[in-house]
Amino acid sequence: MTKLPYERPTIRKLTAGPLSKFGPRAGARPVAELEGVPVPELLARFGSPLFVLSERQLRRSYQAVMRAFGTRYPQVQLAWSYKTNYLNAVCRVFHQEGAWAEVVSGLELEKALGNGVPGAQILFNGPGKTRADLARAAEVDAVIHLDNADELHRLLEVAAGRPHRPRVALRVNLDAGIFPQWDRFGFNLENGQAWQALQQVAAATEQLDLVGLHCHLGTYILQPAAYGVAATKLAALALRCQQELSLPVRYLDLGGGFPSQNTLKGSYLPGPDAVPDLDDYAAAIAEALLGAGFRVGELPLLVLEAGRALVDEAGYLLGTVLATKRLADGRRATVLDFGVNLLFTAYWYDHHISPVRTFSEQTEPTVLYGPLCMNIDVVRESIVLPLLAAGDQVVVHRVGAYNMSQWQQFITLRPHVVLLDLQGNPHIIREAETLEYLQQPERVPAHLQG
Amino acid sequence: MPAFFRAVLHSYSMLFFSQHRGLAALLLLATWAHPWAGAAGLAAAALAVGGARLGGFSREYTDLGAYSFNALLVGLALPLYFAPSAGLAALVGLGAGLALLLSVALGGWLGGRGLPFLSLPFILVMWLLLLASRQLPLVPAEAGGVYWLNDAYALGGPHLANAARWATEADWPPPAATYLRALSAVLLQDSPWAGLLVALGLLWHSRIAFSLSVLAFGGAWGLALLAGAGVGGVGGVGAYDLGANYLMAAVAVGGVFALPSLGSYGWSLLSLPVTAVLLAAAEALLRPLGPAGLPALSLPYCLTSLLFLYVLLLREKPGNWLVLTPLQRYSPEANLYAHLAGLGRRAAALAPVPLALPFLGEWRCTQGYADGGPTHQGPWGQALDFAITDKEGQTYEGSGRTLSDFYCYDKPVLAPADGTVEEVVQHLPDNAIGEVDTRQNWGNTVVLRHAPGLYSQLSHLRAYSVRVRPGQAVRRGEVLASCGSSGRSPEPHLHFQLQATPAIGSPTLAYPLAHFLASDGSLKGSESIGNKPDCLCQSALTLHTATVPRTGELVRPPQPQAQLSQALHLPPGQRLAVQLASAPEAPPQVWEVFTDAYNARYLRCHYTGAVAYFEQDEAVFQCTAYYGSRQAWLYWFYLAAYRVPLCYLPQPRAVPLPLSVVRRPWLGWLQDVVAPFFQFVQPVFTLKWLGPDAGPAARQLQLGSRVVVSYFGQKQVVQEAELTIADGALTSLTARRGAQQLALTFAAANS
């Protein structure tokens, strides 16, 4: 019989309150491997911490979204939201699956072009497009989603003298019954701004080619019905546009904002139980568009700028326990080798974190701290975990969205990002940063040298 | 050539069910072997065409020569029985008019039964005139055939008489001479030389018809030897004027009214003994009357052909052995090649009720038509089951223990075609996974009525998910209910069947879907294709027309590409101005869209007169026929856009073209001869999208196409072309044929 690993003793307060309806087993189950590859092997090979992405899950998520919407509405197109994770390998997986690109800056536009996306399949969102950005977008024939009147006027100047009219869509914000209402992107529908802008576009039809309408409700929207309301309003606007301005609207872009199964901070239920099924969103949108009164054969294309719903599930962050300690108030604290510098989404979510090896059934609540010498560096305020010791490894789930684009190079360097392909072979898709990389753009004035 | 002369010329070629003007010219020449007959025939044909045009009869039949070939035959025959005189001229006029009237009348009577009138008017007219002439002896009777040499002597002395004798009685090998004389007898001549002209014309027009005539002659010859009657005996092929009956019946039965095939050749051989019996019977009936008798003429041929065609029409299960010509193209080759190119099958796709898949997105056909499936048996064999699967072939995610784990559960079910709701059942509960309700076999069900005797049934729907009421009209694609698992359904799936009666659970009816996209759906999964993503299976999608999904196939409804559909949506009356890209100032050729009497659309080039027939529905643009010069710009377009699926398919499946695109005469003729049995020359049309699918907001689409003829392992590129579509309109065509280049631009033409 092999020797059992040592576990330190722990003292827990006995709470004789009402029984939890979720049953006695609250502790996290161990996750020893990802896509069949042992976690310790990955960490030994690529170092700790380590971001891991599963290509299989990326594709499965994409196909699940397409299945949910494509079996309810005849024409559906996903546009991969670049800002969610613009590692080229990730983008290319989605483009291979058939996704267009949704970009929000000149940088992202160039990234999408570099990934081989034809200009016509790039949707250029964002409230901050410079004149140069607009010129570049017009040049490569991307669709410009107009955000404000200044942008419209700037684009009219850019469009002058071009062989083709730039293709545009109008960003619309509207009251879909959710709070807070995101009214900062695009033109408001209810106060008439959007119609006014459409009239301006119609007047400038010699210079601009209106192809779509766009609406982004917000982020992590948990009410599918709100999408139904938005789709109804947008479809009504499209029909009015078609009838009164003779501008046929070819696509309706209902933006993104679909949740993943992460648990929002302050949520009573865990994400998988609280978040509506994607099918509910699809049903709400399809129902609204099919019933909107478009003529048979003239249904507009439905574009969705899914980001988080496509990538979150496929991302894992692997890390190692550096130390455990007891805080002054008696709470247990665990220091990990990654913090909010890498796990930016720890500000929003109570991430699901699993131990790698098997422990006894004894658990204890603990605070998870990162390695930064900053008070804000808290990964979880409180989580029930087995009795971790220094050197134990953990897996953070659903970290694919935003972390690999919003992470910070702060105090430490950013680690490798590895993609597990369909056979489970790991591929480094972003090298760990080095001191040279960090200092390469730095310049030291002569008087400080030597 | 004015339509009038064309119609007169077609009267000649129509004798062999042809519109070939070369054949017509040779036949016209052959009739002048007997100058009086030639002149009378021409006059009669012209009179009949003129009469038909003045009379306001079907212009189409008139132009085909269908109303005038009987008059032509009357004109050819009368000089055999009456001496040349003014009376004969009057008789020709009378006969031509009578033949025209009978043609129109018989055409109306038999046409409704799908039967041709053949040369029945000619026989009737001849009999009437011969019988009437005994009461009204205005015209001196003459047996023209007998006095033919006297005529020659009178005209040109002994030289001409000798020459004429040589011409008619030279030392030809007996079978060849008899064959040629039999052919000439179709024109009521008796001359191997005239027969040779007819034979050459027939060979020029159709290798299949020619080979059938030779085959029939050989068969009749063999039959006569077998019967011991001797080739010269009564009813034998040797009686030249009657031998033609065998030839014509065989050609009509085996090559014209049925598609040439092994079966049709066998059918036409079977016609020989029947013709022989009819011939002998007709002779026995008419000849013993002596001078009071009547000639049998082509009666045996008409009766045999009509009998053999009518019984084929009355088959309940036609099968594939003997296919009747669906649309007469007046050439056995054209009929056959159009059929081989699948143009006949398209007609089924345009059936009165085009049927679509009753769902959106990609589903797998889990049980097809009675192919050993577990539950689609016997009278319920022609049904389809569908469920949604993922790339691994699973129908569910998670544990698969609850209904909502299944991908297809609660997905919308659509009306497959326009119709009215006949019946709704929706109170039955959905089964737990693995359980079945064998008492309420069909579960929740909607039955739609699409046409008299055509109902569709959708079953195993989710409880209380039906959104329509009985009696309500529904459009194709309207959401009816949600997919569920009620009735005999262990896991959620959709059952779809067509039936002839409205009751739930009626026996099924085989009925094809108009169009659907399919990939074989083999469960290769992600494992075996390495790092190549499964999504590239998109390129393996093929558009299926007028067929039914097979078990295991992944199917989805085609989604029309808006720009492409708009560009190739050519409604009647639309005019295109076509110009050379290099000469934009030159006046354009105008192509205009028309419809014919059968509602078939065609593009006609006003400049060259070329015509390209096409069909277009929501999923496919397909050219069906081309008539005109091969140098006409329209022919370049015909080859460039022969078949264009109107949805984004990066590389649609290659499709066969009719063999008429083959440019090598020797190769084509060789293929023609053996075409009823096998095809070794294969012209193929392939299409390719150049560039990505930019969706409905695309500025420009480019399609590349290639026509390749392959034979004996060789490949010859006939034409390569690129079509450009911008802003929902066809803008340009660039194409290459060998060293030839063509660049055209298109614009909407003002009328």
- Alpha carbon of A74: minimum distance to chain B alpha carbons (Å): 6
Bridge partners, A397 (sequence order): A316
pLDDT tens digits, one per residue of A93-138: 999 999 999 999 999 999 999 999 999 899 999 999 999 999 999 9
Amino acid B153: pLDDT: 62
Omega before residue A180 within 30° of 0, cis: yes
Q: Give residue B46's pLDDT.
A: 95
Secondary structure, 3-state, B98-163: HHHHHHHHHHHHHHCCCCCCCCHHHHHHHHHHHHHHHHCCCCCECCHHHHHHHHHHHHHHHHHHHH
Question: What span, in angstroms and rounded, lies between the C-alpha atoms of B332 and B17?
Answer: 9
Q: Looking at the complex, does the CB of residue A214 fall below 8 Å from at least one CB of chain B? A: no
Q: Read off the pLDDT of residues B159-169 as tens digits, 9 standing for 90 and up.
A: 666 666 666 65
Average pLDDT estimate for B9-33: 91
A142 vs B contacts (CB less than 8 Å) = none
Confidence of residue B672 (pLDDT cuts 50, 70, 90): confident
The reply to whether residue A96 touches residue B363, judged by beta carbons under 8 angstroms, is no
| Closest partner CB to B360 (pick from A74, A121, A277) | A74
Interface check for A165 against chain B (CB to CB < 8 A): the answer is: no
How many interchain CB pairs under 8 A, A with B?
99
The rounded distance, in Å, linking the Cα atoms of B189 and B241 is 8
Chain B residues in contact with A297 (beta carbon < 8 A): 560, 618
A243-284 pLDDT per residue, tens:
999 999 999 999 999 999 999 998 888 888 889 999 999 999
CB contact under 8 A, A250 and B562: yes
CB A352, CB A263: distance < 8 Å: yes
CB pair distance less than 8 Å for A143 and B697: yes
CATH superfamily of A125-306: Alanine racemase (3.20.20.10)
> Is the pLDDT confidence value at B400 over 60?
yes
Q: Do B527 and A120 touch (CB under 8 A)?
A: no
Domain with CATH 2.40.37.10 in chain A: 33-53+313-434
> Does any CB of chain A come closer than 8 Å to the CB of residue B616?
no
Residue B538 is predicted with a pLDDT of: 45
Residue B129 scores a pLDDT above 50: yes
User: In the CATH scheme, what is the homologous superfamily, with its name and number, of domain B173-332?
Assistant: Ammonium transporter AmtB like domains (1.10.3430.10)
Which chain A residues are closer than 8 Å to B475 by Cβ? 296
Superfamily of domain B363-556: Glucose Permease (Domain IIA) (2.70.70.10)
User: Which one, of A45, A100, A46, lies nearest residue A430 by Cα?
Assistant: A46
Answer whether B360 sits within 8 Å of A70, measured CB to CB: yes
**Contact: B695, A121; criterion CB under 8 Å:** yes
> What is the pLDDT averaged over residues B441-460?
95
Residue B552: count of CB within 10 angstroms of its CB: 16
CB contact under 8 A, B530 and A67: no
The nearest alpha carbon in chain A to B701 belongs to A120
Predicted pLDDT of residue A19: 61
**At residue B305, does pLDDT exceed 50?**
yes
List of chain B residues whose C-beta atoms are within 8 Å of the C-beta of residue A56: 526
Residues 43-82 of A with CB under 8 A from B: 56, 59-60, 63-64, 66-67, 70-75, 77
Least confident stretch, A62-66, B162-166, B271-275: B162-166
pLDDT above 60 (res A390) = yes
Q: Do the two domains B173-332 and B363-556 of this chain adopt the same fold?
A: no
**Does the beta carbon of B362 lie under 8 angstroms from any beta carbon of chain A?**
yes
Nearest CA-CA partner of B647 in B550, B545, B733: B545
Looking at residue A97, what is its pLDDT? 94
The per-residue pLDDT for range B71-116, each reduced to its tens digit, is 999 999 988 888 888 888 989 999 999 999 999 999 999 988 889 9
Compare all CA atoms of chain A with the CA of B619 and give the residue at the minimum distance: A297
Looking at the complex, report in whole angstroms how far the Cα of residue B386 sits from the nearest Cα belonging to chain A: 13
Which among A64, A97, A211 is the nearest to B535, CB-wise? A97
User: Is B412 within 8 Å of A286 when comparing Cβ atoms?
Assistant: yes
For A162-176, how does the pLDDT look when each residue is reduced to its tens digit (9 = 90+)? Answer: 888 999 999 999 999
| Better-predicted residue by pLDDT, A55 or B132 | A55
Fill in the amino acid letter for B9. L
B414 touches chain A (CB under 8 A): no
Confidence category of residue B292, pLDDT binned at 50, 70, 90: low
- In this predicted structure, the answer to whether residue B235 has a pLDDT above a threshold of 60 is no
pLDDT at residue number B54? 93
User: A120 vs B361: CB contact, 8 Å cut-off?
Assistant: no
ipTM for this prediction? 0.88
Mean pLDDT of B635-644: 94
Model confidence pLDDT, tens digit, residues B353-368 = 889 999 999 999 999 8
CB contact under 8 A, A296 and B475: yes
**B526 in A contact zone (CB under 8 Å):** yes
| More confident call, A206 vs A111 | A111
* Angle (deg, nearest 10), helices B120-135 and B69-81: 40
Q: Provide, for chain A, the percentages of residues in helix, strand and coil under a 3-state DSSP scheme, each rounded to the nearest 5.
A: 30, 20, 45
Question: Is A164 part of the contact surface with chain B (CB cutoff 8 Å)?
Answer: yes
| CB-based contact B360 A72, cutoff 8 Å | yes
Quick one: pLDDT at residue B347?
Answer: 55
Judged by CB atoms closer than 8 Å, whether chains meet at A120 and B699 is answered as: yes
CA distance A141 to chain B (A): 9
Q: Is the pLDDT confidence value at B239 over 80? A: no
What is the reported pLDDT for A16? Answer: 61
Give the pLDDT of residue B530: 38
pLDDT at B148 > cutoff 60:
no
- Inspect the interface and report whether the beta carbons of B363 and A290 lie closer than 8 Å: no
For residues A306 and A285, the answer to whether their CB atoms sit within 8 Å is: no
A412-420 mean pLDDT: 96
Residue B417 has pLDDT above 60, yes or no: yes
Contact A297 B618 (CB under 8 A): yes
Burial B702-728 (b: 16+ CB within 10 A, else e): ebbbbbbbebeeeebebbbbbbbbbeb
Q: Hey, is the C-beta of A95 within 8 angstroms of any chain B C-beta?
A: no
Higher pLDDT, B456 or B86: B456
Instruction: Please determine, for residue B427, whether its predicted confidence score (pLDDT) is greater than 90.
Output: yes
Q: A33-53+313-434 has which fold?
A: Lyase, Ornithine Decarboxylase; Chain A, domain 1 (2.40.37)
Sorting pLDDT into bands at 50, 70 and 90, what band is B534?
A: very low
Out of A4-8, A434-438, B9-13, B344-348, pick the least confident.
B344-348
pLDDT for residue B643: 92
CB contact under 8 A, A71 and B530: no
CATH fold for the domain made of B1-142: Ammonium transporter fold (1.10.3430)
CA dist B475 and B467 (Å) reads 13
Among the listed residues B282, B207, B276, the one whose alpha carbon sits nearest the alpha carbon of residue B246 = B276
pLDDT above 70 as % of chain A: 97
> How far is the alpha carbon of A56 from chain B, nearest alpha carbon, in Å?
9
% chain A with pLDDT above 90: 84
Subunit contact B560:A73, Cβ cutoff 8 A: no
| pLDDT band with cut points at 50, 70 and 90 for residue B396 | very high
Task: State yes or no: pLDDT of B152 exceeds 90.
Answer: no
Q: Which chain B residues contact residue A168 at CB under 8 A?
A: none
Question: Please, which residues have CB within 8 angstroms of residue B109's CB and are 6 or more apart in sequence?
Answer: none
Q: Spell out which residues of chain A touch residue B359, defining contact as CB-CB under 8 Å.
A: 71
- CA atoms of B604 and B628, how far apart (whole Å): 10
* Residues from chain B contacting residue A66 (CB–CB below 8 Å): 361
Distance from CA of B742 to the nearest CA of A (A): 26
Give the mean model confidence (pLDDT) for residues B518-542. Answer: 53
The CATH 3.20.20.10 domain(s) of chain A lie at 125-306
Q: Give the domain ranges of chain B.
A: 1-142, 173-332, 363-556, 562-589+643-748
A141 contacts in B (CB within 8 Å)?
Answer: 699
Least confident of A7-16, A219-228, B188-197: A7-16
Kindly determine whether residue B359 and residue A71, on different chains, have CB atoms separated by under 8 Å. Answer: yes
Q: Which residue has the tokens 């990002």?
A: A417
What digits encode the pLDDT tens for the residues B560-608?
Answer: 888 889 899 999 999 999 999 998 888 899 999 999 877 789 999 998 8
Q: Does A98 touch chain B (CB under 8 A)?
A: yes
pLDDT value of position B154: 61
Q: Give CA–CA dist A336/A257, Å, rounded.
A: 30
Closest residue of chain B to A421, computed from CA coordinates: B531
Task: Give the integer Cα–Cα distance in Å for B645 and B688.
Answer: 10
The larger pLDDT score, comparing residue A8 to residue B418, is at: B418
pLDDT above 60 for A1 = yes
Q: What is the mean pLDDT of chain B?
A: 85
Please state which of the ranges A73-87, A144-158, A286-300, B537-551 shows the lowest mean pLDDT. B537-551
Q: CB-CB: which of A250, A290, A296 is closest to B479?
A: A290
In 3D, which of A33, A60, A48 has the Cα closest to residue A311? A60
